[in-house]
Structure 1
Amino acid sequence: MLRYILRRKNLIALLSGILIIFAFLMKWTAGNMLLFEWALIIASIIGAAPIVLQAYQALRVKVVSIDVLVSIAVAGAFVIRNYEESAIVTFLFLFGAFLEQRTLNKTRSAIKELTEMAPESALKKMENGEFVEVDVDDVDVGDTLLVKTGAKVPVDGTVITGEGSINEASITGESIPVAKEQGLKVFAGTILDNGTLQIVADRVGEDTTFGKIIELVEDAQDSKSEAERFIDRFSKYYTPAVLVLSFIVWLITKDLELAITILVLGCPGALVIGVPVSNVAGIGNGARNGILLKGSEVIGDFSRIDTMVFDKTGTLTVGNPSVSETIFYGDNTDKAMDYLGSVERESDHPLANAVLESIGDREFHAVDSTEVVKGEGIVAKVNGHRVAVGNVALMTREGVQLSSNAKSDVERLEVNGNSLVLTAVNGELSIVMGIKDQIREGVKGDLQR
């Protein structure tokens, strides 16, 4: 019965509010004082039920909470037949609890989004050497796992065989995939864009980096704001103080009604409802302006900040690398673009998609042979021409001379945060592309506001 009532506090608050409105309508429109009083009495009784139960639970653990004060005040209001006060006090108390719960539900939606990103299954190597899909909770440290293209890495581990590119944006925030090979670390929740990897599990479950991130978010969102902590401390002394004051007034005046009036007036309705209302209003106002506030503590912190640091990837930027600038050198640049597209179509490099998207529909040629130079790029034979696509180090290896203008362009693009893709045909530089995660449209104006 106790759980049944406490779980339906919001419904009880709604019914109490409806009864209070009905009572005053009967008084102001029909002048029916009988219905007015009985509606308020019923509203007081059903509204007081969860509060009295919470007060009882607090007294069992020797805590004189605000629930105790409200319960005594409501009982006192009944004694002096002040049903308006008893009904309104209980309604405000329950409404404040509803607003507080609504704030928590809003902030915990971020945790739900995080947990949905967590991997649920893994391909585990069994004793017979075959890989079988199992629940991620069945993976132990030291198990060998297979990660295929497009799959989430299920645990923190170390690559033992295979090569591939992993999107680690969920962990590091960087949009450009990271190349992985034997001996390198991988993290749970990241996505293998291409390739196939076998990894050995180093950390599983809540011990993974992704699990720790979820734990930190949960701790941050469950923490109370400074104002809420103050109210908790204040209530420890406020409730006994009001009870003692009311008792002293009764001892001195022998006026029970006056003593009970002090109890009713001492009910901290504004204190209980003030913080939740301000939190909900602040979070709602932020959402209307495109700002998601993760908890009431953040609202208080914003009043004291003088510097704001943003996560760049996916916040200030689009979240996907694209070609920001293309510079051509020499003649036959159209042919050079055809050759570049032909080579990139054969590549699984993380930047290849950005290059192909920028190039668009071209005349592609068959690639006769390719040589991958680790950390530098690709050298290929296309339509009888030697085509080198990669960074400055590859150009140096191929003996491609960069003019003063090309060197200046390369330096400028690097300073502006671009990753470079240079294309040389038969030893002559033809194209320099700058690739980076683009700034979101209108973000400068948003920041200036």
Structure 2
Amino acid sequence: MQRMILSKKNQITFLSGILIAIGLFGHFVLHNSLVFNTAFITASILGLAPIAIQSYQALKVKVVSIDVLVTIAVIGAFLIQNFEESAIVTFLFLFGAYLEQRTLNQTRSAIKELVEMAPESAFIQTETGEFEEVDVDEVDEGDILLVRTGAKVPVDGTVLTGEAYINEASITGESLPVTKVVGSEVFAGSILENGTIQIRADKVGEDTTFGKIIELVEEAQDSKSEAERFIDHFSKYYTPAVLILAIVVWLFSRDIELAITILVLGCPGALVIGVPVSNVAGIGNGARNGVLLKGSEVINDFSNVDTIVFDKTGTLTVGNPEVAETAFYGNNTDEALRYLANVERESDHPLAKAVLANIGTFKTVPVENTDVIKGGGIIAQVNGQRVSVGNVALMKKEQVKLDEKARKDIEEFEKNGNSLVLTAVDGELKVLMGIRDQVRPGVKKDLQKLKNLGVKNLVVLSGDNQGTVDLVAKELGLSEAHGHMLPEDKSAHIAKLQKEGQIVAFVGDGVNDSPSLALADIGIAMGSGTDVAIETSDVVLMNSDFSRLPHALGLTKVTARNMKQNILIAVGVVLILLASLLFSEWMNMSIGMLVHEASILVVIFNGMRLLKYRLKEDKYEMKTSIKEMDVAK
């Protein structure tokens, strides 16, 4: 019976509203007291039923909830035959609860949209080579899948054949389609807008990036911040205190209506709902924009950060070394490059990969007697000629002569933060390449946004040499730069900053960053980083989009501010209502309940504003845009 009544709560609210309208019509138009009393008595009993059931359920677990206060107030009003107020109070309370739930559901729309975007089926390659449609749960790692135009990518995988444009908004928050070719990674839940591809399933089910996003957002929305825990604890004592106050007022004044009105006006509904709705809306906004905030606690801590520490490689820089500068010496340059490419093909060193990517296609020639010099490079025989590829130390060992121009080039390349790869053929220097990791596009602008948001210190910690780290810091305008840092050195430096009273966030992407991510007040992982880094962190920037970092910080700041606003609104309304009751004659139970429910809607709508939050264009961007326009002219 109880379950049936609660399931029909919305219908009861609607019917109560109709009965109240009939009662008012009978009183003001028909001047019929029987119609008036019958309608309001019925509305009171009908509306009280679900409220009383919720009160009973709360008292069973020893909680004096808001429903208990309203139940006592309505029963009291009914006993003193104030049927009008008892009916109106129950209707307003039920209608407020209906609107509250409806608007709260909208704040949870982000997770709902994510779940709805989850793929349900996939076209899997059978033993005969044909493709048949199966449930996505039947796909295993290693399966070959077909994805056509308009379909959702069912799993995380790698493109084997074909080319396509894919909308990855569900993963990164970026609506512009991304081109995918053979070898590209694709993510479950993204939508293939144009083209047809075959992919190999690398991650399936809950292990996909999309699956982890849903899991993390669900966990975050269900978590409670310190402010919420305080309010829950506070309401356990506040609600009984209001009940005691009403009893004391009745004992001294013998005014039962005044005591009942105090019960209604003292309901802390807006206070209880204000903080959760802000948190849920903030986390939902982040999920829509490629930022995963792992819980309500993160929002408060992140909003107070004044120092952000960055790992360099893969965070401030792209993480893929590229040839930035090249110098040639002597004749037969093409031949030297061909020899260089064939020798570097024998190596799996990151610098070798950068060299090969720079040279591109080349004619294959036999490489013999390959000798890898630890910490130096490679020496090999190519077409009967001795080819040496490596650093300056290897060139000295091979007695390669470096003329004045070569020495100046080497000095200049090193000043620019390059790692050097020199190539000599039969003891004669032919090619000098400067290789360095490129700074992420737009990072400088994003760092300025962080400063505008109140971050005082921007620090880079890296295992690279100090010269390279200093150059990156100078280019980006960072506060501090420290090179030659091992993982334990990074953690020690973060601990040092914390001891100085700074609230520290650390941004990284590798396994070696995990200790620092865990130690920092807020750990921020790049989405394409290792699983360990992502699991250890508090915030994840999907698809390693650094531009999401200012949005994340700005979002947590406005969310934290929104929580405080809602608390002030809730407390302020209760104080004003009680003051009006004591010091004015116009305040009554119905007006108080109307204002009370209105305050709940105010804090809900205030919280919902966060769903539309976007980081405003700052002065730095505007100045940069104006300069670019002037240059264009």
- Fold shared, TM-score > 0.5 on shorter chain: yes
- Aligned partner (choices 60, 68, 74) of residue 56 of structure 1: 60
Q: Could you give the per-residue CA deviations for residues 121-166 of structure 1, whole angstroms, max 9, x where no partner exists? A: xxxxxxxxxxxxxxxxxxxxxxxxxxxxxxxxxxxxxxxxxxxxxx
Give the partner amino acid of 1:438: Q
* Residue 381 of structure 1: how far off its partner (Å): 0.8
Q: Mark the runs of 5 or more structure 1 residues left unpaired by the alignment.
A: 6-10, 60-64, 110-217
Percent identity of equivalent pairs: 56
C-alpha separation between the residues in 1 aligned to 2:65 and 2:441?
A: 55
Instruction: Return the TM-score normalized by structure 1.
Output: 0.57
Spell out the pairing of 1:401-420 with structure 2 (5 A cutoff): 401-420=401-420
Residue of structure 1 in register with 2:329 after alignment: 329
C-alpha separation between the residues in 2 aligned to 1:412 and 1:55?
A: 78
Residue of structure 1 in register with 2:294 after alignment: 294
C-alpha separation between the residues in 2 aligned to 1:103 and 1:417?
A: 47
* Residue 321 of structure 1: how far off its partner (Å): 3.1
Contact 1:424–1:431 at 8 Å: present in 2 too? Answer: yes
Contact 1:388–1:395 at 8 Å: present in 2 too? Answer: yes
* Residue 271 of structure 1: how far off its partner (Å): 1.0
Contact 1:399–1:427 at 8 Å: present in 2 too? Answer: yes
Give the partner amino acid of 2:443: V
C-alpha separation between the residues in 2 aligned to 1:280 and 1:253?
A: 44
Distance 1:26 1:248, change over 3 A: closer
Looking at both structures, which has the greater relative contact order when contacts are Cα pairs under 8 Å and sequence separation is at least 6?
2
Spell out the pairing of 1:65-104 with structure 2 (5 A cutoff): 65=63, 68-79=64-75, 80=77, 81=86, 82-88=89-95, 90-91=97-98
Residue of structure 2 in register with 1:365 after alignment: 365
* Residue 221 of structure 1: how far off its partner (Å): 9.9
Residue of structure 1 in register with 2:501 after alignment: none
Contact 1:70–1:267 at 8 Å: present in 2 too? Answer: yes
C-alpha separation between the residues in 1 aligned to 2:330 and 2:15?
A: 85
* Residue 233 of structure 1: how far off its partner (Å): 4.5
Contact 1:400–1:424 at 8 Å: present in 2 too? Answer: yes
C-alpha separation between the residues in 2 aligned to 1:330 and 1:30?
A: 103
Residue of structure 2 in register with 1:158 after alignment: none
Contact 1:283–1:292 at 8 Å: present in 2 too? Answer: yes
Spell out the pairing of 1:1-16 with structure 2 (5 A cutoff): none
* Residue 389 of structure 1: how far off its partner (Å): 1.7
Contact 2:19–2:42 at 8 Å: present in 1 too? Answer: no
C-alpha separation between the residues in 1 aligned to 2:41 and 2:422?
A: 85
Spell out the pairing of 1:319-358 with structure 2 (5 A cutoff): 319-358=319-358
Distance 1:56 1:445, change over 3 A: same
Distance 1:49 1:408, change over 3 A: farther
Give the partner amino acid of 2:60: Y
Give the partner amino acid of 2:241: A
Q: Mark the runs of 5 or more structure 2 residues left unpaired by the alignment.
A: 27-37, 78-85, 116-217, 450-633
Give the partner amino acid of 1:241: A
Spell out the pairing of 1:131-170 with structure 2 (5 A cutoff): none
Contact 1:19–1:43 at 8 Å: present in 2 too? Answer: yes
Give the partner amino acid of 2:72: G
SS in 1 for 2:299: helix
C-alpha separation between the residues in 2 aligned to 1:343 and 1:228?
A: 63
Instruction: Return the TM-score normalized by structure 2.
Output: 0.42
* Residue 342 of structure 1: how far off its partner (Å): 0.6
Residue of structure 2 in register with 1:442 after alignment: 442
Distance 1:219 1:288, change over 3 A: closer
2:263 is aligned with 1:259: no
Q: Could you give the per-residue CA deviations for residues 232-289 of structure 1, whole angstroms, max 9, x where no partner exists? A: 4533542332121122122223344432332222221111111122223333445566
Residue of structure 2 in register with 1:396 after alignment: 396
Give the partner amino acid of 2:91: E
Q: Could you give the per-residue CA deviations for residues 391-421 of structure 1, whole angstroms, max 9, x where no partner exists? A: 2322222222334444444445445544332
SS in 2 for 1:423: strand
Contact 1:339–1:382 at 8 Å: present in 2 too? Answer: yes
Distance 1:309 1:53, change over 3 A: farther
Contact 2:377–2:390 at 8 Å: present in 1 too? Answer: yes
Give the partner amino acid of 1:301: D
SS in 2 for 1:429: strand
Give the partner amino acid of 2:69: A
Distance 1:310 1:376, change over 3 A: same
Residue of structure 2 in register with 1:203 after alignment: none
SS in 2 for 1:309: strand
C-alpha separation between the residues in 2 aligned to 1:426 and 1:52?
A: 93
Distance 1:105 1:74, change over 3 A: farther
SS in 2 for 1:260: helix
Contact 1:77–1:86 at 8 Å: present in 2 too? Answer: no
SS in 1 for 2:378: strand
Residue of structure 2 in register with 1:427 after alignment: 427
* Residue 72 of structure 1: how far off its partner (Å): 0.9
Contact 1:20–1:40 at 8 Å: present in 2 too? Answer: no
* Residue 92 of structure 1: how far off its partner (Å): 7.2
* Residue 360 of structure 1: how far off its partner (Å): 0.9
Give the partner amino acid of 1:244: I
C-alpha separation between the residues in 2 aligned to 1:98 and 1:443?
A: 36
Spell out the pairing of 1:112-123 with structure 2 (5 A cutoff): none
Distance 1:409 1:248, change over 3 A: farther
- Number of aligned residue pairs: give it: 322
Alpha carbon RMSD of aligned pairs, Å?
4.5
With 81-90 and 368-377 compared, the bigger mean Cα shift is at 81-90
Contact 2:47–2:90 at 8 Å: present in 1 too? Answer: no
With 26-35 and 287-296 compared, the bigger mean Cα shift is at 26-35
C-alpha separation between the residues in 2 aligned to 1:74 and 1:323?
A: 73
Contact 1:246–1:262 at 8 Å: present in 2 too? Answer: yes
SS in 2 for 1:389: strand
Contact 2:338–2:362 at 8 Å: present in 1 too? Answer: yes
Distance 1:396 1:97, change over 3 A: same
Give the partner amino acid of 2:93: S
Distance 1:434 1:283, change over 3 A: farther
C-alpha separation between the residues in 2 aligned to 1:30 and 1:440?
A: 69
